[in-house]
Amino acid sequence: MVVEIKLDYLTQFLISISGYYGSITEGGSVIVPSLFLETNMKIFGPFGIEQGAPFSLPGEMLVGFHGWSSKYLDSIGVYMIRTTHVSRVLGISKKFLSFGPWGGDGGMIFDDGNYTGVREVDLTRSGGLVSIRVCYEQNVNMIWENKHGGSGGLKHHKIVFNYPYEMLTHITGYYGSMILRGPTVLKTITFHTNKRSYGPFGDPQAGLGVLMRSPNSRATRTRLGQSSSLTMSFQVRVELS
């Protein structure tokens, strides 16, 4: 299932993501089964099953993702920038910090790169988080990166931020195994902005796990860690200015 989340660009920013990671089956791989996306106005999610270890990535503005993916979103990480005023979003002299990835280490590693900010996030989920695709802002241009994770999914979520007025600041969520002795995956995720929170996205019946949370900053890049048939890990980069 595909879920589309649209943000009110110029007034709504993606500030945080959170969710769960872990295995959804006994002996299965660690994936990201659930995600929440939070903007400065509201929270979208949960997308997926809230089962496994929770994780969250707080910040002033997220601008990128990285991690691992296969047929699922296995892990996730973020890139972030720290700024005080929205007018500085398109500013210069930026410094980045990377956080994560949280979740499992299966699948293939991926890295979206550095951008000005995050415009939209597309998530698909079934038992856990299946895939993620992010639309970035770069010099007033919208850039869609490749989808990371597997195909299909029972539900689709599209989170649209009101960039540059709404900035993604951090993410939270859970990761862990979806089944006994299964692989570690992302179970749920929540995205937080300077306006509101989106999520949690994932399976609320999947149980809890390890909590993940990024520091407050502005996300500019998403290194989605590892991806397979499920999102296994997630990581973020923080930009300091």
Sketch the domain layout of the chain as residue ranges.
2-240
Cα 7 to Cα 4, 39, 47, 77, 135, distances in angstroms: 10, 8, 16, 21, 11
The DSSP 8-state label assigned to residue 103 in this structure reads E
pLDDT score of 237: 54
pLDDT score of 161: 92
Please give the average pLDDT of every successive group of 10 residues along the chain, which has 241 residues.
Answer: 78 76 78 82 83 69 80 78 46 55 76 84 84 88 89 89 83 76 77 86 61 49 44 53 41
CATH architecture of the domain formed by 2-240: Aligned Prism (2.100)
Cα gap 6→118, rounded to integer Å? 12
Q: 10 Å Cβ neighbour count for 2?
A: 16
Q: 10 Å Cβ neighbour count for 142?
A: 12
For 75-94, b where at least 16 C-beta lie within 10 A, e where not — what string?
bbbbbbbbbeebebbeeeeb
**Residue 2 corresponds to which amino acid?**
V
* Helices within the chain (DSSP H only): none
User: Any bridge partners for residue 118, and if so which?
Assistant: 136
